[in-house]
């Protein structure tokens, strides 16, 4: 069922030249935190930095660039500091 599906907050990596040769259609999504299908976006009010888990490049993202997608988080995943539950 859909309510059992894993969801997470992500941003799309801005290092397109690194990721295009691997799959030019797919945009690499960097997981930020676990969520569910109906939760509101966390109250992030300022730009923040994220390092890509694949290419290692770091970019600044606007709160409006945070997306929710259905995706399984990797084992040992650590949420981005702005998205940790104790911050909410």
Number of domain units in the chain? 1
pTM: 0.82
Domain enclosing residue 52, as ranges: 2-87
Closest CA to 31 of 51, 59, 8: 8
Q: In what order do the strands lie in the sheet with 29-35?
A: 29-35, 7-12, 67-70
Answer yes or no: is pLDDT of 11 > 60: yes
**pLDDT at site 88:** 44
Distance CA 47, CA 63 (A): 6
pLDDT in tens, 14-62: 987 777 766 666 788 999 999 988 888 888 899 999 999 888 999 999 9
């Amino acid at each position: 069922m859909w309510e059992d599906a894993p969801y997470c907050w992500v941003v799309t990596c801005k290092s397109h030249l690194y990721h295009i040769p691997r799959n030019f259609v797919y945009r690499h999504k960097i997981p930020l935190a676990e969520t569910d299908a109906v939760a509101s976006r966390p109250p992030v009010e300022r730009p923040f930095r994220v390092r890509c888990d694949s290419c290692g490049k770091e970019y600044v993202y606007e709160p409006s660039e945070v997306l929710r997608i259905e995706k399984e988080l990797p084992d040992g995943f650590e949420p981005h500091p702005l998205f940790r539950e104790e911050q909410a």
